[in-house]
Amino acid sequence: MPSILKNIHDRLIQAGAIFCGAVFMFMMVVVTIDAILRYGFSAPLAWEIEINEYLLLYVAFLGAPWLLRQDGHVRVDILFAYIPERAARRLTMITSLLGGLACLALCVIGCQSTWEAYVRELPEIKTLAVPRWILMWVIPYGSLLLSVEFFIKARGHWLHTAPAPTRSTD
């Protein structure tokens, strides 16, 4: 990947991680305020649950690429303890390619769905009336960043520049 594109990709992932941290702090404060208002004054915030639902979608799709970069996703690695390092690299490369392709497919489908919601002006009506595309755009955006990160990971294992998969026996 050319250095300027890599730099943009890195900054977008870092910005997503920072945004997720700020969103978690906001959610924590709002839930605390809602609990105080609900149980102390019998006056809950009507919008708190809905806003947090929407923000969880953003956190999932903006935080996933950073989490993948940190190898923070849950994975079943028992097989790695019993196969040679070369086979573990190949397996990781294959699963990274499959993950990248799945995220790319999700990106394409997400783009189509988001565009349809935008063109048809579909609302998401609960307590708040929000245009659905505002909620959905993060799905193709995050999926694209995640697919690129999966492909970078696969390339690293192909070229042996990425660290070997963990071989713990715990």
Q: pLDDT tens, 34-52?
A: 999 999 999 999 999 999 9
| Helix runs in the chain, H state only | 3-41, 48-69, 85-119, 132-136, 138-158
Q: Give tens-digit pLDDT for 3-17.
A: 899 999 999 999 999
Which whole number is the average pLDDT over 111-119?
Answer: 97
Please, what is the average pLDDT of the chain? 92
Tell me, what's the pLDDT at 167? Answer: 62
- For the cut 70, the answer to whether the pLDDT of residue 116 exceeds it is yes
Which whole number is the average pLDDT over 130-144?
Answer: 96
Tell me, what's the pLDDT at 80? Answer: 81
The larger pLDDT score, comparing residue 45 to residue 169, is at 45
CA dihedral 9, 14, 115, 49 (to 10 degrees): 170
Q: Give tens-digit pLDDT for 65-98.
A: 999 999 888 777 788 888 898 888 899 999 999 9
Tell me, what's the pLDDT at 45? Answer: 92
Tell me, what's the pLDDT at 86? Answer: 87
Q: Which two tokens stand for residue 72?
A: 């923070």
Using only the alpha carbons of the chain, give its radius of gyration: 20
pTM over 0.85: yes
**For the chain, what are the domain ranges?**
3-158
Write the CB contacts of 131 (distance below 8 Å, at least 6 apart in sequence).
117, 118, 121, 122, 123, 124
- For the cut 90, the answer to whether the pLDDT of residue 124 exceeds it is no
Tell me, what's the pLDDT at 112? Answer: 98
pLDDT category of residue 136 using cuts at 50, 70 and 90: very high
